[in-house]
Amino acid sequence: MASLIQFKRRIASTSSLAKIFKAQELIAASRIAHARELKENSEYYADSISRAVISLATHADINHPMTRERKEIKNAGILVVCSDRGMAGAYSSTLIRETEKLKRELQEKGLNVELYVSGKRGESYYKFRDIPLAGVWTGKSDMPNAERANEIGKKLVTDYLSEDPETRIDQLYIVCMKFVNTVKQHPRIIRMLPLKLETVTLDENGNVKDTATGKAHNPPPTYEFEPSVEDVLDAIFPRYVSSRLHECMLESALCETASRQQAMHTANDNASELVDDLVRKLNKARQAVITNELTEIVSSADALKEDKH
């Protein structure tokens, strides 16, 4: 059995870890509300630009490279949105497993897969295995900003629109987290490029017809294009990709914060249980020492009595 000093040291170290876990849990809990607010605010811009793109698709005959399905598909790109820091449970490992699963499926179809990684955890995973990466972005995974989303989006769009058919990516997928609630998040795969524009159905009055309910809503706005439709689309489609990407990154940041809070809560509970178990063992060991000392005292007293007789 371990000595009393060893038990006391383990109790002290485990108690210190429990305090760290509790502090991390409280920090994550304080950030969830702000992360949720950022995500909800980003949805307004993303919805607005989505309605604008849908309106363009409704009132214009779009034949743009970013919406056109290519006849010959050789390369596919996957962007995985991981975290920069640990202590978030299985957050990053879940995303990496989903990415590897998608990668195998694409390779089975005969496609070459290029990997893009956002987050140090994903970068460390692939660099440790000497897997080349087409793009890496680290930092600010728990608080992504529009500048980072624009930087990533510009790189992805540039690689997609490359004129070299051997190196350009013909399809782009994003692997990120979907927020359900503070205790439940699951990975999702979004095919970002080529863009799939869903045109709306208009009734005889020009109103939007909801195919599910049959009700009519206000018609989408119409646009006059200057200098041309192509120039407008060249400007708005990259912004659309960046806005969707920013929305995904903000939702992933919310999931990361929620996962960290849940992981730290579980770690704190486990540390507290371990401390309680160590205290019981310490008391048992202390009782054993006391019993052993009493036994030695009684044995010594009996020996003295025998010597006197």
Q: What is the DSSP string of 98-128?
A: HHHHHHHHHHHTT-EEEEEEESHHHHHHHHH
**Strand pairing report for 171-181 and 75-81:** parallel
Task: Please report the pLDDT score of residue 244 as a whole number.
Answer: 87
- What is the band of 195 on the pLDDT scale with cuts at 50, 70, 90? confident
- What is the band of 197 on the pLDDT scale with cuts at 50, 70, 90? low
Which of 300, 249, 297 is closest to 118 using CA atoms?
A: 249
Say yes or no to pLDDT of 200 above 60: no
pTM comes to: 0.78
Say yes or no to pLDDT of 287 above 70: yes
Task: Please report the pLDDT score of residue 211 as a whole number.
Answer: 45
- C-alpha span between 67 and 230 (Å, rounded): 12
- What is the band of 181 on the pLDDT scale with cuts at 50, 70, 90? confident
Question: Which tens digit of pLDDT belongs to each residue from 79-112?
Answer: 999 998 888 888 899 999 999 999 999 999 999 9
Say yes or no to pLDDT of 69 above 60: yes
**Strand pairing report for 171-181 and 184-193:** antiparallel
Task: Please report the pLDDT score of residue 75 as a whole number.
Answer: 93
| DSSP-derived 3-state class of residue 81 | strand
Q: What is the mean pLDDT of the chain?
A: 82
- Give whichever of 52-66, 98-112, 200-214, 250-264 has the largest mean pLDDT: 98-112
**Superfamily of structural domain 34-262:** ATP synthase, F1 complex, gamma subunit (3.40.1380.10)
Task: Please report the pLDDT score of residue 235 as a whole number.
Answer: 82
Task: Please report the pLDDT score of residue 221 as a whole number.
Answer: 58
For the chain, the domains span: 34-262
Task: Please report the pLDDT score of residue 230 as a whole number.
Answer: 74
∠ CA 236-205-52, nearest 5°, is 10
Task: Please report the pLDDT score of residue 88 as a whole number.
Answer: 83
Which of 264, 69, 299 is closest to 182 using CA atoms?
A: 264
Question: Which tens digit of pLDDT belongs to each residue from 213-253?
Answer: 444 555 555 666 677 777 777 888 888 888 889 989 999 99
